[in-house]
């Protein structure tokens, strides 16, 4: 089975700086692989290890994708190779544009049986790209997959909905989005990291895959959320008197 | 704020139909609910505020909700609604994404507030794990949106309301996923968004059995219990429906008591609209204190038993 696992590079939200006018800045931010995407890579690897097959990593984005540390990072987690569509347009792409470009790349890679996506991107977390890739390829797609096995050429998967679990039979080729807790992402060892440097990386421009549609949304603003005014009465210790003081405040609200 | 003409609503949960209908009536002139399931639901859907119900049919052994994507897609092509609202469930999210892709557009996800202005629909959403609020305008003919839970308040049910009902023919899906079995998910299906008082716990709780003390406190003051993501997804001490934060519950109870919670932004976005916030944490520097009304720097294993004693004594 040939599996493509999608990932996105995102700025580390810990490095976000809030400017005086409430706008935010990523100028000092480190870039990282989305945390849910690392889980998706693990799910793809586990399935390939059990069911047989290979995993390719796939991403579309801006110049950060060229970062050799991040290239090694993704490949040290098991994929045999990586495909990257690099264009500055893609660093602000909306979910439809992203899904469109990834779907075109999957067609170009050829013979992909399964596309695995994470629960959502760590930055926008719209949780849409997997569902949209499926529709663009006209393949069945499902989200919220919590377990997955291969039997008789079909995927048997459990889908974790809010109050119920569905056991599904998914014909391949297909696109699945996995839950954030399907597996814990592995930690690569030194050997994996060294080998990752030798694995092939295929780089495509937007022209190679036939361009990208226009954005379907306009971003009007991205601002730090307004902080609610709080009283901030903080009692500095937990002696009997201090707990009593805390209790008196609480009692008035009960 | 001007209103758009046609707003459609799709959601699997009866409770959120009322909320979404109320929202659709605020935003649009005509509200249409696309209903899958038992036919008996239709009258109530109209009572909740729908002007029209497109009845798609019922699910069964050989037909899932997902199989209706092709039927819905055809309806969108024919009727071109201005705005299509979906509930904030996994199933609805997936359906919204698929239908939007078929119309070559993105979904406005987890919208907290809508603005309809100059024939344009705008929405705000949390991004970067809650560190920022983004306002977006959609450029598509039909705007697709997953509405954050609790964004709209249901209108009182009006049994005298009248509405049109249209049965829609099923469109055979070109590809589909078969559901072989369904079972209840473990844990209770608590709806934290309905709770007036909530106690939330984080990693300050050392052992699962220590939750008993928290449960006792919750029982005494009539509160529900919630938690941070590591408690529900890391150690699995509580179900996912109790996890408060950016990808979990977001709500505004009257009273919020954070116990052993550091106050990471990913958690705080779920609860920072609460009426009054109390915090118990050993770390003076914990972020939670700058976002609380009352805090105590102390060991929860010292503070909570004393609180229990005092609350019991006061009853």
pLDDT digit string, tens, across residues B72-111: 999 999 999 999 999 999 999 999 999 999 999 999 999 9
Q: Report the gap between the CA of A52 and the closest CA in chain B (Å).
A: 22
* Nearest-by-Cβ selection for A231 from B184, B185, B294: B294
Q: Which domains does chain A have, with CATH numbers?
A: 2-219 (3.40.50.620)
Closest residue in A to B307 (Cα) is A247
Q: Is A194 in contact with A75 (CB distance < 8 Å)?
A: no
Using the beta-carbon criterion (under 8 Å), do A234 and B98 form an inter-chain contact? no
Closest-CA distance, A209 to chain B, in angstroms, reads: 17
Low-confidence ranges of chain A (pLDDT < 50): none
B137 vs A contacts (CB less than 8 Å): 217-218, 220
Each residue's pLDDT tens digit, A143-158: 999 999 999 999 999 9
Question: Would you state the pLDDT for residue B1?
Answer: 65
The rounded distance, in Å, linking the Cα atoms of A17 and A22 is: 10
- Which residues are B127's β-sheet partners? B132
Mean pLDDT, chain B, as a whole number?
93
| Distance between CA atoms of residues A99 and B94, nearest Å | 14
DSSP state of A200: -
CA dist B113 and B1 (Å) reads: 13
CB contact under 8 A, A128 and B106: yes
Test B132 with A131 for CB contact under 8 angstroms. Answer: no
Confidence of residue B252 (pLDDT cuts 50, 70, 90): confident
Chain B environment of A171 (Cβ under 8 Å): 175, 177
Which positions in chain B touch A216 (Cβ < 8 Å)?
A: 104-106, 138-140
Q: How far is B175 from chain A (nearest CA, A)?
A: 6
Cβ <8 Å between A160 and B135: no
For chain B, domains (ranges, CATH) are: 4-167 (3.40.50.620), 192-314 (3.40.50.1220)
Residue A198 to chain B, least CA–CA distance (Å):
33
The alpha carbon of residue A205 is apart from the nearest alpha carbon of chain B, in Å, by 21
For B266, nearest residue in chain A (alpha carbons) = A13
What does the pLDDT read at residue B60? 85
Split at pLDDT 50, 70, 90, the class of B188 is low
Subunit contact A216:B133, Cβ cutoff 8 A? no
C-alpha dihedral (B102, B60, B24, B53), degrees to nearest 10: 100
Contact B97 A119 (CB under 8 A): no
| Helix/strand/coil for A104 | helix
Question: Is the pLDDT assigned to residue B117 strictly greater than 80?
Answer: no
Q: What are phi and psi of B203, to 5 degrees?
A: -70, -5
Which chain B residues are Cβ-neighbours of A247 within 8 angstroms?
306-307, 310-311
Of B128, B184, B303, the CB nearest to A123: B128
B20-45 pLDDT, tens digit each: 999 999 999 999 999 999 999 899 99
Closest CA to A247 of B308, B176, B281, B86: B308
Q: Which residues of A touch B107 (CB under 8 A)?
A: 95, 126, 128
Q: Nearest Cβ partner of B314 from A16, A123, A251?
A: A251
* A87-130 pLDDT, tens digit each: 999 999 999 999 999 999 999 999 999 999 999 999 999 999 99
- Nearest alpha carbon to residue A70 among A126, A135, A8: A8
Provide the token pair at B28. 């649009």
**Is the Cβ–Cβ distance between B7 and B32 less than 8 Å?**
yes
At residue B50, does pLDDT exceed 90?
yes
**What is the pTM for the complete model shown?**
0.88
- B93, with CB counted inside 10 A (0-12, 13-18, 19+), is buried
Contact A131 B101 (CB under 8 A): yes
Is the per-residue pLDDT at B264 higher than 80? yes
Residue A240 has what pLDDT?
95
What band does B189 get if pLDDT is binned at 50, 70 and 90? low
Q: Which residues of B170-206 are buried (b: 16+ CB within 10 A; e: fewer)?
A: ebebebbbebeeeeebeeeebebeebebbbbbbebbe
DSSP B201-235: E-TT--SGGGHHHHHHHHHHHT-EEEE-HIIIIIS
Distance from CA of A69 to the nearest CA of B (A): 23
Q: How far apart are CA B218 and CA B227, in angstroms?
A: 13
Give the helix ranges, DSSP H, for B108-210: none
A126/B272 touch (CB, cutoff 8 Å), yes or no: no
Half-sphere exposure of residue A242, counting CA atoms within 13 Å on the CB side? 16
Residue B187 pLDDT > 80, yes or no?
Answer: no
Nearest-CA distance B280 → chain A (Å): 10
Among B106, B233, B295, beta carbon nearest to A95: B106
């Amino acid at each position: 089975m040939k599996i493509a696992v999608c990932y996105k590079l995102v700025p580390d939200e810990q490095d976000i700086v809030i400017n005086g006018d409430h706008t935010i800045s990523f100028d000092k931010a480190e870039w990282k692989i989305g945390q849910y995407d690392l889980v998706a890579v693990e799910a793809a690897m586990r399935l390939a290890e059990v069911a047989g097959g290979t995993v390719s990593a796939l991403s579309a984005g801006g110049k950060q994708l060229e970062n050799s540390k991040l290239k090694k990072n993704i490949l040290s987690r098991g994929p045999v190779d990586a495909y990257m569509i690099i264009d500055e347009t893609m660093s602000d792409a909306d979910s439809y544009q992203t899904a469109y470009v990834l779907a075109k790349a999957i067609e170009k890679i050829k013979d992909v049986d399964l596309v695995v996506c994470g629960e959502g991107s760590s930055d926008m977390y719209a949780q849409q790209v997997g569902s949209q890739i499926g529709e663009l390829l006209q393949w069945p797609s499902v989200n919220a997959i919590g377990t997955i096995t291969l039997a008789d050429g079909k995927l048997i998967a459990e889908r974790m909905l809010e109050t119920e679990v569905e056991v599904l039979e998914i014909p391949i080729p297909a696109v699945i989005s996995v839950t954030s807790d399907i597996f814990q992402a592995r930690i690569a060892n030194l050997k994996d990291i060294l080998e990752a440097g030798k694995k092939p990386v295929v780089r495509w421009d937007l022209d190679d895959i036939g361009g990208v549609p226009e954005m379907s949304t306009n971003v009007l603003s991205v601002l730090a959320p307004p902080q609610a005014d709080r009283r901030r009465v903080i009692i500095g210790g937990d002696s009997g008197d201090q707990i009593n003081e805390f209790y008196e405040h609480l009692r008035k609200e009960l | 704020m001007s209103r758009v003409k046609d707003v459609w609503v799709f959601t699997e949960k009866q409770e959120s139909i009322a909320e979404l209908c109320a929202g659709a009536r605020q935003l649009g002139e005509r509200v249409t609910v696309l209903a899958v399931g038992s036919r008996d639901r239709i009258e109530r859907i109209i009572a909740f505020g729908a002007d029209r119900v497109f009845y798609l049919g019922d699910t069964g052994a050989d037909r899932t909700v997902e199989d209706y994507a092709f039927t819905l897609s055809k309806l969108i092509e024919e009727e071109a609604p201005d705005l299509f609202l979906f509930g904030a469930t996994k199933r609805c999210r997936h359906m919204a994404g698929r239908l939007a892709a078929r119309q070559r557009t993105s979904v406005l996800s987890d919208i907290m507030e809508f603005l309809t202005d100059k024939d344009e629909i705008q929405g705000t959403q949390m991004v970067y794990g809650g560190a920022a609020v983004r306002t977006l305008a959609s450029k598509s003919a039909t705007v697709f949106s997953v509405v954050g839970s609790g964004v709209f308040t249901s209108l009182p049910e009006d049994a005298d309301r009248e509405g049109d009902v249209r049965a829609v023919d099923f469109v055979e899906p070109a590809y589909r996923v078969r559901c072989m079995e369904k079972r209840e998910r473990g844990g209770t299906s608590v709806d934290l968004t309905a709770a007036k008082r909530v106690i939330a716990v984080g990693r300050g709780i050392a052992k699962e059995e220590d939750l008993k003390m928290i449960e006792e406190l919750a029982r005494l003051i009539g509160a529900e219990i919630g938690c941070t993501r590591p408690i529900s997804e890391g150690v699995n001490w509580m179900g996912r429906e109790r996890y408060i934060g950016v990808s979990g519950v977001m709500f505004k109870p009257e009273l919020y008591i954070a116990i052993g919670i550091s106050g990471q932004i990913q958690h705080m976005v779920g609860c920072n609209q609460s009426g009054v916030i109390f915090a118990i944490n050993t770390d003076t520097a914990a972020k939670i204190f700058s976002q609380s009304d009352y805090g105590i720097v102390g060991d929860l294993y010292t503070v909570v038993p004393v609180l229990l004693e005092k609350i019991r004594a006061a009853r």
